[in-house]
Amino acid sequence: MNKLERLLSEISSYTEDHPYLRYITEVIDTIRSIVFEPGVSAEESPFLRDYIEIKRYMFAVVVAVAPAALASIYFYGWRALAMIVVSYVAGGIAEVGFTLIRKEEITEGFLVTGILFPLILPPNTPLWMVAVGIIIGVILGKEVFGGTGYNIFNPALVGRVFLTITFPVAMSSEWLIPLTGGWAGFNQFSVDTVTSATPLGVFANAGTLAPLRELFLGNIPGCLGESSALLVLAGGIFLMLARIIDWRVPVSYLGSVFLFSALGMYLWPNQVAPPLFQLLAGGLMFGAMYMATDPVSSPTTKEAKWVYGVFLGVMTVSIRAFSGYPEGVMFSILLMNMFAPLFDEMVMTLRYGPIEKPYK
Amino acid sequence: MRYISILIAAIFAHNIALRYFLGWCPLVSQSKKLSSAWGMGVAVTLVMTVTSAVNWPVYNYLLVPYGLEYLQYIAFIIVIASTVQVLEMVIERFFPSLYTTMGVFLPLITVNCAILGVSLFMILRDYTLLTGIVYALGSGIGWSVAIVSLASIREKLRFADVPKPLQGPGITMLIAGIMAFAFLGFSGMVGIK
Amino acid sequence: MSNMKDIYTAGVWEDNPVFRQMLGLCITLAITNKVVNGVTMGVAVFFVLTASAFIVSLLGESVPRRVRIPVYMLVIATFVTLVYMFLKAFFMPLSQALGAYVGLIITNCIILGRLESFSSDNSPWDSIVDAAGVATGFALALIAMSVVRELLGFGTLFGVQVLGSGWTQWVSMILAPGGFLVLGLLIWVQRSISPVEEG
Amino acid sequence: MKIFGLDLQQYETENKPNLRVRDELETVTVPTKGGYGSSLSPSVEIGDRVEAGEIIARNDDSISTPALASLAGEIIEIVELDGYHEETGDKFDAKVQGIKIKVSPEQSIKGSGIEWEKEKPKNLRELLYLAGLTSFGQTGVPTEFNSSLFSPAKVEHLLVNGVRTEPFVHHLVDFSEEFASYKTGLEILARTFPKSQIHFVMDEKTQENLKELSSSQRIKVHSAKNESYMSKSKMLARKILGREKLDEGGYLLDHGLLALPEIFPLATYRAVVEGVPYIRRRISLSGPATEDSIIETPIGAPVKYAIGEDVKDNVDALTIKGSPLSGQKLEDSEMPVSKDMGSLVQLTKPQGSQFLAWLQPGLRKNSYTNAFFSALAPHKKKVADSGLHGEERPCVYCGWCSDVCPVDILPFQILKTHEHEMIDEVNRLQPQRCVDCGLCSYVCPSKLPLSDTVKSAKQEQSDESHNYVKYEENEKGLISVITEEEKGRGEESE
């Protein structure tokens, strides 16, 4: 291990002075800092520091979605893995390229975006579209704002919504029927049993409901990672217990969807689906656990988190019921991302009063 | 119900700023500060509602009977300019405290194309007077939603490390693009007519 | 003569109304989903701007300060009405495509801004050159935007298939968000080539 | 102890630390300032012979407390000391001098006990001043001398902070052994400030044998939660005075509260009853790199000597003055022990870089998160060291810093606004509420200097605020601007 460390630092010091290779020094240094945590001592108080760090913080999310990602291979074959790989490679190149041009440090945020993005795509998305989507998401959704920590919108959702609007035919008209039984998708590369709609689409067109048990376990067509509510929920609960995500957002989001769909079902029985169906169908569970809770693009103050969650629920139920799209989770999260800074600012004004003299 | 659906449509699905691109010059220049965004939003909503309430009778009772529809631009722009003037005087006279916060934004509004745009859309879509006013109110609120959220985002972006050429208008347009993506989720939700 | 050239090129590039001054955005965003629309609007604005610049510079100091803006707007509105009637008479489909946006040329702040800051106290000839420069800059911005949007959105230019029949249309490019994104990206490109000076 | 679910138990020691007396010194260097007050010039000259407890620097015109010789001997040198005002963080910027005494073999202590029950409060305060005890607390203990900005009449509440909840910091008083003297000390304080309410606060764990105290009418006994920030006087003051008042900022004494450290009643007892002035200091020494103990040493002994050779073999240690969450690094181990040096913590430094540290399982009980999968690696050795455990990254708005903050501020927002010099917005976020607990930096996964930034934002704000410009400078040094009228009110009628 010491050999590896020495090798990396030798490469790094060699490339530093090289006329062409110096551009990749940052990459070498990043690899070095990922492999070896430097034993740096705190120079100012507090001298005791928590062992948690951003790499671990981000990696916990990857661990939490891993069951859902494995399930997507089980349901849709190895092509699902190919999509994840394409997403990591294309997005990684975009991310590293951008940071190298801007001469900045490479940060770990992409670890999460790279796996969440393919999991919210339909299983038969062409691989080139996966690449286009993740590049748009990383560059327009994150890097132009200055990289991880500064993005206003969830980068994975920016990519997803871009694809939805840009390629409506590929993204929402054909869905695959998942495989079940035995080794299912672990035995084959892709699935070719095509259907025209997800349970939410079926409800919007014909008004029939899919059985809840299937929705819960995952035997229904949908996006890669969204199909099994059970696994998504398990990952989300793990993240909440580990405090990586704040429990307030999922609780208020799911709660408000339940409440408003119950209310809506009473008022417009033909358009609003029943609460339990709403909770389990489509990307709601996935969105509530992994997308809406993205700390950077959601509000930070506790009060604002509640407001954010409630608004998310209202938006999701109304888009699902009344708009041209059967699924409203990604639109509502993107929409509320837009209001997150406003909610935070309002909470701060309530808590601390207005700014006496506005900045110049 | 019809009025409510037009109001909601004007705020979300047919947002005047994010769907019809109107009023972007002040949106870019006035969204640097949250406080001025609130002032601008209120001012625009007010002027939009009042001018469309005046423009409707002007068009339907003055221009149409004499076949002068082609003069609508000139007529509307005169109405808007004078309404803003009158409104400014009224507010200054009767609500001085409101004037101190909002007064500076009023003259800017004359050249806000969203105001003219709303009146033109109102005519294009054959609204009645009341639906026209409701539509104008909704559009004003929708425009305010856009400018206020944009301003709060830009305030947060002061801490961010945006590439230099993109700072200011560039990043604002990109944010607007993503906002417009989000607003597309409402498409087909409620009719505008 | 070099002075004239400077005035002209400044309007086209360094002080480009769209990329630098952020003026006339509504029209830029709304009608640039097809190159034809972009060209038409560019020509229309060119005509309205140069013509009203000429008139305003003739009026010069004779207009009282207080009523300047309404007078200018009347001048502009007159020319816009002319354009509107012309389009309606000869190019009906184009007129329908542009819709209410032709009328919005009146409130196009480029025109008002130019008249206010330049034409009102310069000679007619200078004013026309300045107006032509700014209008050319505006038209070029419109064309640049519409080329990108039509190419990606339809795979065509002027309605002619360019990118091959297998091209998957990027629908978002012809919708509102595409307009914003393309404008943002073009601003990025333009300002990277000639950076904004501090202050 | 637990802090918002953060388990710092491993930082505590179950065993009662030994009291070790360190007395065999050849020289001591007594600083002319310790705790609150301005720096004094020596009133003795080189070659003078001094007794232990004799005043060797005093200036009744400046805001100060006399400095006392801690051991008998001969003055041999007057030196300049560095790093003293950094430690106290107050505004008295003058250089601190050290009076070096060559210790003589014969020792005797100057002073004698008095009948305190019958003494006037004013005389008791004078005694405390002459015993060198009045430099404690945030703004000194008010007396008829200029020992504080405030007059004794200002003291409505007197808070004795016996809370030791910070990791690695021990109680300096052994309550089972020294309880009787401690109780008397508190009673003397009640007499010294007859118009004020005495509050004694202990942490939940140690208050068992203190029930007897509450029998006294003048002394109110409180208990504080076993959470690290509760050892901050400001935090306890919020409990006693109500939080709204304190959010406005200013000194605690602006709101009528004088907060004193745990050791104060015992030192008062020694000075008043036994006649021993404040010339010896107790220091809690602990941490993974050393053996836990309480050290008693004359003031002015080099810190190195106080610590002794207790650093464990082959350990690269970092010595911290104060608590590891809010203290400072000890730069110079030759520095003399001062009056207000309460604890020293020795942490081990991280040993080299670690291979894939972020992937390794092993729950750190002291972590704010549960993302460590500890059950997978029960054998993993858990040590407290001074490592950052990560590198600085941009803030990801995880919100942990505001979650753990005991006083409801948003450290991340203060950091961002402060970085961009948006002064009005920084002030709006009320950094003056901060109690310097250091927990925000502790939990930050991006390893941002939150606690430090909030501290400096607070400092900048207080510089502007009028509460802190009550004194003026004249040719004699810093003098108070308390009016004569205010001083007059300090006289209590018997």
Residue pLDDT, tens place only, A226-237: 878 899 999 999
Domains in chain C, number: 1
Domain covering A54-348, topology: Ammonium transporter fold (1.10.3430)
- In terms of Cβ atoms closer than 10 Å to its own Cβ (0-12, 13-18, 19+), residue D368 is buried
Structure confidence by residue, pLDDT tens digits, C35-77 = 988 999 999 999 998 998 888 888 877 878 767 777 888 888 8
Determine the residue of chain B that is closest to C100 in CA distance: B120
Contacts of D420 in chain B (CB under 8 A): 158-159
Smallest CA–CA distance from A335 into chain B, residue? B182
Distance, in Å, from the CA atom of A27 to the CA atom of A32, rounded to the nearest integer, reads 9
Closest CA to B140 of B45, B52, B60: B45
Q: How far apart are alpha carbons C16 and C141 in whole angstroms? A: 8
Q: Is C168 at the interface with chain B, CB within 8 A?
A: no
Q: Is the pLDDT of residue D1 over 50?
A: no
- Secondary structure element (H or E) that encloses residue D199, with its range: strand D197-203
Q: Does A167 touch chain C (CB under 8 A)?
A: yes
Cα–Cα distance, C63 to C57 (Å, whole number): 11
CB-CB neighbors (< 8 A) of A144 in chain C:
188
Nearest residue in chain A measured CA to CA from B34: A342
Task: Specify if B192 maps to a domain.
Answer: no
Query: Residue D383 has what pLDDT?
Result: 62
Token look-up 């020795």 returns D346
pLDDT of residue A317: 92
Q: What are phi and psi of D442, to 5 degrees?
A: -60, -45
Identify whether the C-beta of residue A328 lies closer than 8 Å to the C-beta of residue A288: no
Question: Measured between alpha carbons, how far is D254 from D258 in angstroms, rounded to an integer?
Answer: 9
Is the Cβ–Cβ distance between B144 and B45 less than 8 Å?
yes
Query: Percentage of chain D surpassing pLDDT 90?
Result: 17
- Of the residues B14, B18, B24, the best mutation for testing chain C's interface (the one with the most C CB atoms within 10 Å of its CB) is B24
Query: Buried b / exposed e across B111-139, counting CB within 10 Å, b at 16+?
Result: bbbbbbbbbbbbbeeebeeebbbbbbbbb
Chain D residues inside the 8 Å CB shell of B159: 416, 419-420
B124 within domain boundaries: yes
- Beta-strand pair D157-162/D197-203: parallel
**Three-class SS of residue D42?**
strand
Residues 34-63 of A with CB under 8 A from D: 34-57, 59-60
Question: Where does residue B151 rank: exposed (0-12), middle (13-18), buried (19+ CB within 10 A)?
Answer: buried
Whether residue D148 contacts residue D121, with contact meaning beta carbons closer than 8 Å, is answered with no
Q: What is the pLDDT of residues A296-333, one digit of tens each?
A: 999 999 999 999 999 999 999 999 988 888 888 999 99
Cα separation of D250 and B126, whole Å? 65
Mean pLDDT of A145-163: 92
The answer to whether chain D touches chain C by having 3 or more C-beta pairs less than 8 angstroms apart is no
Q: Which of D233, D296, D270, D20 is nearest to D132 (CA)?
A: D270
Is residue D83 predicted with pLDDT exceeding 80? no
Q: Helices in A120-228 by DSSP H: which ranges? A: 127-141, 155-166, 168-172, 199-206, 212-217
What pLDDT score does A115 carry?
93
What are the chain B neighbours of C188 within 8 Å (beta carbons)? Answer: 163, 165-166, 170
Query: Can you tell me the distance from the alpha carbon of D221 to that of D223, in angstroms, rounded to the nearest whole number?
Result: 7
Q: Computed over its alpha carbons, how large is the radius of gyration of chain D? A: 23
Q: Highest mean pLDDT range out of B172-186, C11-25, D379-393?
A: B172-186
What are the Cα distances from residue D414, in Å, to A83, A348, C111, C153? 41, 12, 44, 45
Helices vs. strands in chain D: H and E counts, helices first: 13, 21
Candidate from A270-274, C87-91, D476-480 with smallest mean pLDDT: D476-480
Q: What is the predicted pLDDT for the residue at D94?
A: 61
Contact state of B165 with C175 under an 8 Å Cβ cutoff: no
- Going by C-alpha positions, the residue among A292, C29, A114, D266 that lies closest to residue D281 is D266
Question: pLDDT digits over C136-181, tens only?
Answer: 999 999 999 999 999 998 888 888 888 877 788 888 888 888 999 9
Q: DSSP H helical segments within A207-325, as ranges?
A: 212-217, 229-241, 248-267, 275-280, 284-286, 302-322
> How many independent structural domains does chain B possess?
1
**How many A×B Cβ pairs under 8 Å?**
98
pLDDT of residue A173: 77
Chain segment A235-270, per-residue pLDDT in tens = 999 999 888 999 999 999 999 999 999 999 998 888
* Average pLDDT, rounded, for chain A: 87
**What per-residue confidence (pLDDT) applies to D470?**
43
Sort out which chain D residues have CB atoms less than 8 A from A296's CB and list them.
396-397
CA dihedral A131, A136, A139, A141 (to 10 degrees): -130
For chain D, percent of residues with pLDDT exceeding 70: 80
**Is D416 near chain B, with CB under 8 Å?**
yes
Tokens of D327: 């203290």
Average pLDDT, chain D: 79
DSSP run (H or E) holding C140: helix C124-154
Residue C163 located in a structural domain? yes
pLDDT over 50 (residue D484) = no
**Do the chains contact at A167 and C177, CB–CB below 8 Å?**
no
Give pLDDT, residue C88.
87
Asked if the structure places residue B13 within a domain, the reply is yes
Give A170's contacts in chain C (Cβ within 8 Å).
Answer: 168
In a domain, C198, yes or no: no
Would the pLDDT of A271 be above 80?
Answer: yes
Residue A280 in tokens: 């389990």
Contacts of D422 in chain B (CB under 8 A): 158
- Regions of chain B where pLDDT drops below 50: none
Q: Where are any strands of DSSP class E within chain C?
A: 156-157, 160-161
Residue range D9-42, pLDDT digits in tens: 545 555 677 788 877 788 899 988 888 888 888 8
Interface probe, candidates C16, C18, C22, C23, chain B, greatest B C-beta count within 10 A: C22
A344 CB neighbours in chain B (<8 A) are 156
Q: Is the omega angle on the peptide bond into residue A46 within 30 degrees of 0, that is, cis?
A: yes
- Domain ranges in chain A are 2-35, 54-348
Query: What pLDDT score does D482 carry?
Result: 42
Question: Phi and psi of C74, rounded to 5°?
Answer: -65, -45
Do C175 and A167 count as a contact with CB atoms less than 8 A apart? no
More confident residue, D91 or D197: D197
Angle between helices A127-141 and B169-183 (to 10 degrees): 130
CA nearest to C98, candidates A22, B120, D260? B120
Residues of B with CB under 8 A from a CB of D: 158-159
Report the candidate in B8, B42, B51 with the shortest Cα–Cα distance to residue B148: B42
Tell me which residues of chain A, numbers 170 to 199, contact chain C at a CB-CB cutoff of 8 Å: 170
At residue A36, the 3 state secondary structure works out as: strand
The CA–CA distances, whole Å, from D354 to A34, A56, A211 equal 10, 14, 51
CA distance B106 to chain A (A): 21
Instruction: Band the pLDDT of C199: cuts 50, 70, 90.
Output: very low
Residue D362: predicted pLDDT: 62
Helix ranges (H only) for D231-318 are: 233-241, 243-247, 264-269, 303-307
**Alpha-carbon distance values, B94 to B86, B90, B98, B99, B173 (Å):** 12, 6, 9, 9, 38
Question: CB within 8 A of D43, min separation 6: which ones?
Answer: D55, D56, D57, D58
Distance CA A143, CA A102 (A): 10
User: On the CB side of A218, how many CA atoms lie within 13 Å of its CA?
Assistant: 27
Cβ contact D419–B158 (<8 Å): no
Domain that holds residue B127: 2-184
- Chain A hits for D372, CB-CB cut-off 8 Å, are 51
**Mutate which of B148, B164, B178 to test chain A, going by most A C-beta atoms within 10 A?**
B178
Would you place residue D487 in the very low, low, confident or very high pLDDT band (cuts 50, 70, 90)?
very low
Instruction: Give me the helix-helix angle, B72-94 and B34-57, nearest 10°.
Output: 120
3-state secondary structure of D201: strand
Contacts with B, C 47-76, CB within 8 Å: 69-70, 73-74
D381 burial (CB, 10 Å; 0-12 / 13-18 / 19+) is: exposed
Given a cut of 50, whether residue A95 has pLDDT beyond it is: yes
Tokens of A125: 């998305």
Phi/psi of residue A344, each to 5°? -60, -45
Residue of A nearest to D437 (CA): A46
pLDDT tens digits for D396-446? 999 999 988 988 899 999 999 999 988 888 888 988 888 888 889 989 999
